[in-house]
């Protein structure tokens, strides 16, 4: 029955569903369901109006699958315990009759299970939302409560929506994430007496404002973003990844297509290697945690724009237990030795720490 997953991914599973936990007045749903099958660990939560199911491929299941619900009151303690662990630490999740047991290499957390928290048929609910068909009148569209829709902000950086009918659930899809939201009745949502229940009614309401305009596709009708100043660093993940790949290709192209001094060749090689390494790290981080990747890209852009990355790197090296002062002294000694030898190739090799940096 035990299942193993790393601490970072367990925390992310909880974060993606915790916003959908029902309040204490809906006791059977006042928690997050933890469930396993042969390949995945799932977290599932619902407040009856929304449902969210996230999954991650676990490191292995020992025995039969399980399905139990973590009480909402214990979620803060569990999340704090996970946050205190290194993200790569394996966490084994085991279930006994009345408790969850979370075991990391150096600590253990046990949480009591409330038998009143039953696991509902979330697979059936989501399959129903996925397989529901659209009516022939596709002009009818649902009313969505934006306060409920906002709960899906933690689902993924980008999501897909499937809308089928006025009174049917809207399907919400992300990477390793399925969710659904029930529409509200127009009257309860404060829109009046279904005045805006069809596209024809919306068109009639807005005809006075839009009648003189020619239809234009959205990308063609809105001015494109002007190129940002050269000194500004992009905060967009896709653009950052593109810039890194472009730098890699340009550096490797110039290395093999032109004659250049050895020092220039080394500079191009370093630029290409560094750009490719940064791209691989960013791609892996985005796959593991898109939200964290977006945060890191934005923070890095701010640091680059500040022009103080040398100071940031010095502080980071000290915090990581390195000795940047020694690195600097070694590099200064190498520069001095190179300057003394003006007629032949310097025999003194550049310090490895500087080269690798």
pLDDT in tens, 287-335: 777 778 888 888 888 888 877 888 888 888 888 889 988 988 888 888 8
> Position of tokens 């791609």?
283
Give the pLDDT mean for 110-126. 84
Name the pLDDT band for 12 (thresholds 50, 70, 90): very high
Distance (Å, rounded) from C-alpha 183 to C-alpha 194? 13
Could you give the angle at the alpha carbon of 226 between the alpha carbons of 223 and 229, nearest 5°? 165
Provide the terminal-to-terminal Cα distance of the chain, rounded to the nearest Å: 46
User: Is 229 inside any structural domain?
Assistant: no
- Report pLDDT for 306: 79
Is there a single domain that holds both residue 277 and residue 215? Answer: no
CA-to-CA separations, 223 to 137, 218, 228, 246, 335, in angstroms, rounded: 34, 10, 14, 26, 51
Domain boundary among 221, 255, 279: 221
Distance (Å, rounded) from C-alpha 182 to C-alpha 169? 4
We report the CATH number of the domain holding residue 43 as 3.10.150.10
Dihedrals φ, ψ of 240, to 5°?
Answer: -60, -45
pLDDT mean across residues, the chain:
82
Is there a single domain that holds both residue 250 and residue 347? Answer: yes
With beta carbons less than 8 A apart as the criterion, state whether 344 and 337 touch. no
The domain in which residue 16 lies consists of 3-112
Give the lowest-confidence range in 111-115, 142-146, 203-207: 203-207
User: Is 41 inside any structural domain?
Assistant: yes
User: Is 204 inside any structural domain?
Assistant: yes
| Overall pTM surpassing 0.95 (yes/no) | no
Q: How many structural domains are present in the chain?
A: 3
With beta carbons less than 8 A apart as the criterion, state whether 189 and 145 touch. yes
Is there a single domain that holds both residue 68 and residue 143? Answer: no
User: Is 119 inside any structural domain?
Assistant: no
Q: By C-alpha distance, which of 21, 51, 12 is closest to 178?
A: 51
Is there a single domain that holds both residue 247 and residue 351? Answer: yes
Is there a single domain that holds both residue 333 and residue 253? Answer: yes
Helix (H, G, I), strand (E, B) or coil at 92: strand
Is there a single domain that holds both residue 347 and residue 245? Answer: yes
Is there a single domain that holds both residue 159 and residue 205? Answer: yes
Is there a single domain that holds both residue 260 and residue 186? Answer: no
With beta carbons less than 8 A apart as the criterion, state whether 251 and 275 touch. yes
User: Is 268 inside any structural domain?
Assistant: yes
Domain boundary among 79, 112, 145: 112
User: Is 311 inside any structural domain?
Assistant: yes
Where is pLDDT greater, at 228 or 185? Answer: 185
Give the pLDDT mean for 29-56. 92
With beta carbons less than 8 A apart as the criterion, state whether 36 and 65 touch. yes
Give the lowest-confidence range in 1-15, 65-79, 86-100, 254-268: 254-268
Largest CA distance in the chain: 90
Helix (H, G, I), strand (E, B) or coil at 55: strand
DSSP 30: S
- Report pLDDT for 355: 35
- Report pLDDT for 87: 87
Is there a single domain that holds both residue 289 and residue 329? Answer: yes
Domain boundary among 80, 112, 144: 112
Name the pLDDT band for 351 (thresholds 50, 70, 90): low
User: Is 258 inside any structural domain?
Assistant: yes
CA-to-CA separations, 203 to 209, 211, 228, 319, in angstroms, rounded: 10, 9, 37, 61
Distance (Å, rounded) from C-alpha 148 to C-alpha 86? 33
Beta strand 67-71 pairing with 60-61: unpaired
Residue 134, pLDDT above cutoff 90:
no
With beta carbons less than 8 A apart as the criterion, state whether 78 and 14 touch. yes
Is there a single domain that holds both residue 182 and residue 259? Answer: no
Q: In what helix (H) or strand (E) does residue 56 lie, and over which residues does it extend?
A: strand 50-57
Name the pLDDT band for 353 (thresholds 50, 70, 90): very low
Name the pLDDT band for 187 (thresholds 50, 70, 90): very low
Distance (Å, rounded) from C-alpha 15 to C-alpha 32? 11
Is there a single domain that holds both residue 22 and residue 107? Answer: yes
Is there a single domain that holds both residue 166 and residue 214? Answer: yes
Distance (Å, rounded) from C-alpha 262 to C-alpha 65? 60
- Report pLDDT for 346: 45
DSSP 127-182: HHHHH----S-TTB--B--HHHHGGGGGT-SS-EEE---TTSPEEEEETTEEEEEP
User: Is 64 inside any structural domain?
Assistant: yes
- Report pLDDT for 225: 58
- Report pLDDT for 331: 83
Q: By C-alpha distance, which of 296, 295, 291, 280 is closest to 12?
A: 291
């Amino acid at each position: 029955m035990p299942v193993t997953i790393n601490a970072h991914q367990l925390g992310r599973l909880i974060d993606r569903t915790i916003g959908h936990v029902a309040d204490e007045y809906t006791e059977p749903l006042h928690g997050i369901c933890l469930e396993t099958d042969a390949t995945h660990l799932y977290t599932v939560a619902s407040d009856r109006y929304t449902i969210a199911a996230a999954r991650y491929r676990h490191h292995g299941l020992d025995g039969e699958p399980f399905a139990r619900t973590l009480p909402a009151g214990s979620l803060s303690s569990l999340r704090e315990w996970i946050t205190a662990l290194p993200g790569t630490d394996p966490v084994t999740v085991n279930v006994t009759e009345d408790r969850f047991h979370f075991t990391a290499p150096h600590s253990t957390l046990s949480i009591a299970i409330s038998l009143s928290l039953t696991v509902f048929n979330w697979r059936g609910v989501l399959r129903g939302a996925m397989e529901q068909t659209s009516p022939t009148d596709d002009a009818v569209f649902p009313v969505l409560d934006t306060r409920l829709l906002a709960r899906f902000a933690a689902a993924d950086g980008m999501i897909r929506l499937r809308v089928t009918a006025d009174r049917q659930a809207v399907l919400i899809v992300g990477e390793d994430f399925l969710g659904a939201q029930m529409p509200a009745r127009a009257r309860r949502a404060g829109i009046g007496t279904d005045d805006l229940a069809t596209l024809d009614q919306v068109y009639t309401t807005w005809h006075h404002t839009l009648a003189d305009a020619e239809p234009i596709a959205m990308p063609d009708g809105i001015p494109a973003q002007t190129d940002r100043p050269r000194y500004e660093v992009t905060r967009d993940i896709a653009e950052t990844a593109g810039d890194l790949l472009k730098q890699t290709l340009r550096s490797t192209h110039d290395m093999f297509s032109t004659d250049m001094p050895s020092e220039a060749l080394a500079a191009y090689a370093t630029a290409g290697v560094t750009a490719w390494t940064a791209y691989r790290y960013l791609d892996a981080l985005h796959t593991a945690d898109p939200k964290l990747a977006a945060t890191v890209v934005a923070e890095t852009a701010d640091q680059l724009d500040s022009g103080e990355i040398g100071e940031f790197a010095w502080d980071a090296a000290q915090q990581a237990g390195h000795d940047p002062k020694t690195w600097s002294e070694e590099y200064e000694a190498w520069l001095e030795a190179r300057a003394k030898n003006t007629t032949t190739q310097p025999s003194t090799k550049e310090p490895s720490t500087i080269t690798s940096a």
